Amino acid sequence: MKSNLLPNGVAAGIALIISAGSVARGEEIPAGVTAMGPSPEEGLAIDGWIVYPSLFIGSVFNDNIYSTATDRRPAVGVRVRPSVQAGLDNGLHKTTAYMSADAQFYPGLGSQFRLSPTPTTDVDPTNVAGRAGINHIWSPFSDLNVYLSADYTRQSGLFGSNFGATAPNVTVPTGYTVSASQQFSNQFTGSIAVEKKIADWFVRATTGVQYVSYDSRPIASLAASGDAQNGLSYRASLRGGLWLSPMFYGFVEPTLDLRRYESSISDTNGYRIVGGFGSELISLFRGEVYGGYQSQSSVLDFPGGEVAKPAFGARLHYYPTPYLTLTATVDQMLAAAAAPTALAGRLGQWSPATLNTQSKLQIDYAISPFWTAYARGGYGETRWTNSPRADTIWAAGVGVSYTFWRNIAISLDYQLQKTSSNVSGVFGAIGYSTASWGFAQNVVSAGVTYRY
C-alpha cells in the first residue's frame, strides 16, 4: 500500500497523455480520467496490467425514494460503490477495462401502491446503477489502428452512476430519452472501427450495435408499458478529416442509423451527416464542435412518419492547471421513437423519433494533496416531435473528499434531480406516463472511500 499524497498533479498529466489523439479518432476517454484520476505511482501490477481498485461505503439519505410528485417519502439507507480500472499496453496492443457500480439499499422498504393521481405501483427503491466495459486498440502499423469496444451502462438521470470526485462521466447514447417519471436505462453497446492515416488526412470507418431498454418506471394501470421504446440500433459511419494545422483538424461524418423496436410499428431507418472542427490539444484545451442534419423515417411508411432536425454538439475539455479539469458537453440528437402504444399512432401522435437535447458541465478540483472536490450540473429535454409533449430534467451535484490517512478518505456528496412535463395525467389513457408531472429528489451521502 502506497501513500496517496502525490497522485493529483501526476494524474492530470496522465489524463492528458491518455486523451491526446482520442478526439480526432472519435474515441471515448477511459472512465475515471480526470484531474484526480489514477496515478501510475499507485495501483496493483498484475501480469502486465496496472489495476486501480477503490471502494466507497457509507450512508445515504433520499428525501423522495419513490420519485413521486406528491406524498414524498424520505428514507435513510446504505450506499456501496466499488470501482476497478485496469490498463495494459505493450505497444502493439492497448487495452483499457473498467467497472463501477452504485448500489443504494433501503432495508424494509419495497414497492408501494397508490391511487393518486392515478392507480400506480412504485417500484422498490433499492436499485443498482453502474458501468462495465473494455476498449482495445490494435496498431499493426504506425498509420493504421483497429478499435474494438464493448460497454454496458445502467443509469438513472443525466449523470448515471457517478458519485463523488473522480467518478467517471457516463456518456449518454443517442438511443436514450429523458422522462419526467423515474427511469432507469440499460444500454448495451459494441463497436469496431478501422482508422487509416494518409499524410495530413485520416479516414475512420465504424460499425456498431446498441440495445437500450428501460425499467423501474412507475407501473400505472392506465399507462402503456415503457417496453415499446426498448430497441436495437445498427449504425455505420465514415469519418474523413484533414489536419489543417499540427493541432487543428476538420472533418465530415455521414452515419446510417437503423432502429428496430420491441413494438415494430416504431421501426425506423435514418441517417445523419455532420461536419466540424476539433483539436487534440491547443495549450491546455482540447475538444470538438460539430453541426449538421439528421432524419428518421418510418419503415411502415406511416403518414407523418418522417422527422428531420438539425444536429449539433460539442465536447470540450479544459485543463487550466494540473489540479483542475473542466468538461462541458452539449448534444442535440434524434432519440428513441415516441410511439408507446398503437393507439397513440392511430390518434396521430406517433413519431419516428424524439428530439433529445442534453448539456452537462463538470468541474474536478484538487484543492490540496489531501482535499479534492467536484461540482456538476446538467439539463436534458426530450420533445415528442408530432405531439405537444416535452419532458425535462435538471441535475446538479457537489462533493468533497478528505484523505486523512494513507489512501483512506472521508467523502460527502449532495445530488439534486428535478423533472417536469407539460402534459397531464389524462394522457395516460393513450399511452403517456401518468407520472408526467415530474418530481424533485435530494440525495445526500457520506462515508469512507478507500483507494489502493
**The Cα angle at residue 24 between residues 22 and 26, in degrees rounded to 5:** 65
Q: Which residues pair with 248 in a beta bridge?
A: 245
Name the pLDDT band for 176 (thresholds 50, 70, 90): low
Q: Are 401 and 368 in contact (CB under 8 A)?
A: no
CB-side neighbour CA atoms (13 Å) of 340: 19
Cell numbers standing for residue 170? 457516463
| pLDDT confidence of residue 388 | 79
pLDDT in tens, 145-163: 999 999 998 888 777 654 4
| pLDDT confidence of residue 197 | 95
- Establish if 2 belongs to a structural domain: no
Amino acid occupying residue 424? S
pLDDT in tens, 381-396: 988 877 778 889 999 9
Alpha-carbon distances of 81 from 103, 107, 441, 442, 445, rounded to whole Å: 6, 17, 20, 19, 11
| pLDDT confidence of residue 308 | 92
pLDDT in tens, 255-299: 999 999 887 888 899 999 999 999 987 768 889 999 999 999 989
Name the pLDDT band for 208 (thresholds 50, 70, 90): very high
- Establish if 94 belongs to a structural domain: yes
Share of the chain above pLDDT 70, in %: 77
pLDDT in tens, 42-74: 678 888 899 999 999 999 999 999 888 888 899
Decide if pLDDT at 172 tops 60: no
- The domain in which residue 249 lies consists of 7-451
Name the pLDDT band for 134 (thresholds 50, 70, 90): very high
Name the pLDDT band for 304 (thresholds 50, 70, 90): low
Cell numbers standing for residue 400? 468533497
Decide if pLDDT at 12 tops 80: no
Least confident stretch, 35-39, 226-230, 417-421: 35-39
- Establish if 383 belongs to a structural domain: yes
| pLDDT confidence of residue 36 | 46
Decide if pLDDT at 102 tops 50: yes
| pLDDT confidence of residue 424 | 56
Alpha-carbon distances of 22 from 26, 51, 52, rounded to whole Å: 6, 22, 22
SS3 at position 157: coil
Give the count of beta carbons closer than 10 Å to the beta carbon of residue 142: 7
The pLDDT mean for the chain works out to: 79
Decide if pLDDT at 310 tops 50: yes
Number of domains in the chain: 1
**The Cα angle at residue 108 between residues 65 and 164, in degrees rounded to 5:** 45
Helix (H) or strand (E) holding 18: helix 7-19
User: How many residues comprise the chain?
Assistant: 452
Mean pLDDT of 173-191: 78
More confident residue, 58 or 338: 58
- Establish if 131 belongs to a structural domain: yes
| pLDDT confidence of residue 276 | 96
Cell numbers standing for residue 270? 435514418
- Establish if 404 belongs to a structural domain: yes
- Establish if 82 belongs to a structural domain: yes
Mean pLDDT of 100-110: 90
Mean pLDDT of 432-444: 71
Cell numbers standing for residue 144? 493504421
Q: For residue 435, what is the domain's CATH number?
A: 2.40.160
| pLDDT confidence of residue 84 | 92
- Establish if 43 belongs to a structural domain: yes
Q: Are 345 and 139 in contact (CB under 8 A)?
A: no
Q: How far apart are CA 216 and CA 243, in angstroms?
A: 46
Q: Is 245 exposed, middle or buried (0-12, 13-18, 19+ CB in 10 A)?
A: exposed
| pLDDT confidence of residue 126 | 87
Name the pLDDT band for 177 (thresholds 50, 70, 90): confident
Decide if pLDDT at 3 tops 70: no
More confident residue, 22 or 324: 324
